[in-house]
A and B are shown apart, each in its own frame.
Chain A
Amino acid sequence: MEYLRNINLLTNYSISINFRNFGLSKFSLYKIIKMDLQIKFEEKIFENKRRAPDEFKIIANTLRQDIIKSLLLAGSGHSGGPLGIADLMSVLYFGGYINYNPTEPEWKDRDRFVLSAGHMAPILYAVLARAGYFPAAELATLRKFGSRLQGHPGLDVKLPGIETSSGSLGQGVSIAVGMAMSHKLVDKDSKEVYAITGDGELQEGICWEAAMTAGTYGLDNFCWIVDNNDCQIDGRVKNVMSIYPIKEKFEAFGFTVFEIDGHNIVEIIQTLDKFTRYHALRKGKPVCIIAKTYMGNGVSFMHDNYKWHGNPPNKEQAAKALEELSK
């Protein structure tokens, strides 16, 4: 109840009041009002079902707009990564792959999704809102005091649809492996577990401990998606500390590996089909999907630029991004 009150407080005020809370100068406040950018989250829910490829692009662009808007209002946060996995996330969550039930988040027959790259939280929040877990208006509270939309996902604030806190890189995917073990080896059911890690994240040793475990236990109910944008905070992944070749590494750890274009909806569908729909193809091995993506995809001035790893757009940039995304 406490959080609901906070959210009402946060969302019922106009955007300028939100900005005043963030201590922006009078000057920038003036600019905001003058530019008159209306930030509204239209309440629209997408069903989780098989769709034609074009529909996913529309969903992905809605998610991208949500990301831009919520980051603008937040005044801090990560833009590049979330935009880059919007296509993947739209197919995963709205293509009938992950089984979930927004009206019963704790539904015991649900599959699990773990965003191990917790800094990409804005896309997860957008997806969960568009799936119907909570009102889209709540996206306006990202990173704010009293919000359930923490800077990095947290279980303590009880946002429906969140399976674990994440943000300390490498831990989420290891938790996902534990979940997959619990289902396959203890409960012996067929629930699936999906995790997304960044590519810089693969530099964390625990990722490879988790990979070893998934391979050894033949966790064929586990799908590990690597967001291979070749960007991280300090630069290109290959320059900061090369994690290449990724494919051979995962194969050596006992995975079936698919390399795909993470913005090609048809390829995403075909690959997820192989994992989710044709169990026989799994042959007792976990699956790794290396998705080649571009950081900041969909917004021209953020495209493939690692400098957009951890910044929010300002008002002008948001306006431009939203214009591009509404085309």
Chain B
Amino acid sequence: MKTYEKKGDKATRNGFGEALAELGDTMPELVVIGADVTGSVLTSFFQAKHPDRFFSVGVAEQNATTVAVGMALSGKVAVFSSYSAFAAFRNADQLRVSVCYNEANVKIGGAHSGITVGPDGATHQSLEEIAFLRALPNLTLVSPCDYLEAKKATKAICEMVGPAFLRFGRPAVPMFTNDDTPFILGKANILREGNDVAIIACGLLVWESLLAAEKLQEIHGINARVINMHTIKPIDVQAIVDAARECACIVTAEEHQVHGGLGGAVAEVTAKNSPVPIELVGMKDSFGGSGEPFELAEKYGMTWKEIYASALVAIERKKGTYNKIRQVKDVATYHEGL
């Protein structure tokens, strides 16, 4: 049941940058604040097209955030983008008090997120911001799965009123959604139907989940449902509850720490509505290191392989056939022969 096809690679940051530049034509109230990483977060596209509405404040993420708030409180739609490592943490207090408590119409672009920023190493690999951001009242948090979705998501958050954070990445990643793929904030997309296990993913790991689902089908005849949970807050409770009731076991997959991220969000929903076994794929409570993006994804266990193995474990847990000896060896064992 192959529903999605890869059509080349392109970075999600391109989607963000292009969308802003295009929106600038139709939204005269759109302003962008730069903090010395304009060329890497691709707000440079907007700057080139609309130089009179682009304002550089230098390497000063706290000030950039509150300056954006001041603009927003004066009637603008104010966008600030820097690396997620600094656009969600250096300015954490500003995000909490001035952006979210004020319900300011500020949009933050958290660029270069996750392990796939690569050789820059641990200082720049932000793998914790979902945990912080989804605890903030009033904030909309989106993690798009590919270039085109990043573009749609950027437009959607700029057109809605209120604080929003878009989390996206640096490297070129598979493009597999198309113009007709729906994008509605807060409404998850089911990319693949299935009732044996539900894989709920965001960002880069949505593609990996589709790969894992194919392998599960091919090798074990397992029908996995793949859900693209692009909006992490407000989360699509219905999609999670349906998945829990209909599949009775879940795997979550994200380019983020397993603590406090999408996995945590899904667990919160199921714990309250319909508890089922959940396996969490993500960074396992450690910092990363330098390397090539996909080398690191392999090393730290954020590829289709872990999703595949976790799905098998989740299904066994659901059936009650899962035992401790398997648990120790699970991922390694399931990788053999692939």
Residues of A in contact with B (beta carbons under 8 Å apart)? 112, 154-156, 163-165, 167-168, 170-171, 174-183, 185-187, 205-206, 209-210, 212-213, 217
A181 to B71 alpha-carbon distance, docked (Å): 7
Q: Would A175 and B69 count as touching, CB distance under 8 A?
A: yes
Q: Return chain A residues, CB-CB under 8 Å to B97.
A: 165, 167-168, 171
State which of B60-68, B170-178, B184-192, B297-305 sits at the interface with chain A: B60-68
Q: Would A155 and B101 count as touching, CB distance under 8 A?
A: yes
Q: Return chain A residues, CB-CB under 8 Å to B76.
A: 182, 186
Contact residues, B83-126 vs A (CB, 8 A) = 93-94, 97-98, 101-103
Q: Return chain B residues, CB-CB under 8 Å to A163.
A: 73
Question: Majority SS of interface residues in chain A?
Answer: helix
A255 to B295 alpha-carbon distance, docked (Å): 51
Q: Would B74 and A182 count as touching, CB distance under 8 A?
A: yes
B52, B53, B67: the one contacting A177 at CB < 8 Å is B67
Q: Would A181 and B62 count as touching, CB distance under 8 A?
A: no
Q: Return chain B residues, CB-CB under 8 Å to A170.
A: 62
Question: Majority SS of interface residues in chain B?
Answer: helix
Q: Return chain A residues, CB-CB under 8 Å to B62.
A: 170-171, 174, 205-206, 209
Q: Return chain B residues, CB-CB under 8 Å to A164.
A: 69-70, 73, 98, 102
Q: Return chain A residues, CB-CB under 8 Å to B94.
A: 168, 171, 174, 206
Q: Would B66 and A206 count as touching, CB distance under 8 A?
A: yes
Q: Would B69 and A186 count as touching, CB distance under 8 A?
A: no
Q: Would B71 and A156 count as touching, CB distance under 8 A?
A: no
Q: Return chain A residues, CB-CB under 8 Å to B72.
A: 178
A190–chain B nearest beta-carbon distance, Å = 14
Q: Which 10 A-B pairs have the closest CB atoms?
A: A178-B70, A209-B63, A174-B66, A182-B74, A178-B67, A209-B60, A175-B70, A179-B70, A182-B71, A168-B97
- The number of A-B residue pairs with CB atoms under 8 Å apart is 106
A176 to B70 alpha-carbon distance, docked (Å): 6
Q: Which residue of B is nearest A207, CB measured?
A: B63
Q: A156-B101, A178-B66 are in contact. List 9 more A-B contacts (CB 8 A).
A: A156-B103, A165-B97, A165-B98, A170-B62, A171-B62, A174-B69, A178-B74, A206-B94, A209-B57
Is there a chain A Cβ closer than 8 Å to B221's Cβ?
no
Contact with A along B244-280 (1 / 0, CB 8 A): 0000000000000000000000000000000000000
Known: A174-B63, A175-B66. A168 touches B71 (CB 8 A): no
Q: Return chain A residues, CB-CB under 8 Å to B93.
A: 168, 171
Q: Which residue of A is nearest B28, CB measured?
A: A186
Q: Would A186 and B67 count as touching, CB distance under 8 A?
A: no
Q: Would B53 and A213 count as touching, CB distance under 8 A?
A: no
Q: Return chain A residues, CB-CB under 8 Å to B53.
A: 186
Q: Return chain B residues, CB-CB under 8 Å to A187.
A: 74-75
Q: Would B71 and A171 count as touching, CB distance under 8 A?
A: no
Contact residues, B156-175 vs A (CB, 8 A) = none
Is there a chain A Cβ closer than 8 Å to B58's Cβ?
yes
B143–chain A nearest beta-carbon distance, Å = 27
Known: A156-B103, A213-B57. A168 touches B70 (CB 8 A): no
A28 to B75 alpha-carbon distance, docked (Å): 49
A112 to B60 alpha-carbon distance, docked (Å): 24
Q: Which residue of A is nearest B73, CB measured?
A: A164
Q: Return chain A residues, CB-CB under 8 Å to B52.
A: 185-186
Q: Would A154 and B60 count as touching, CB distance under 8 A?
A: no
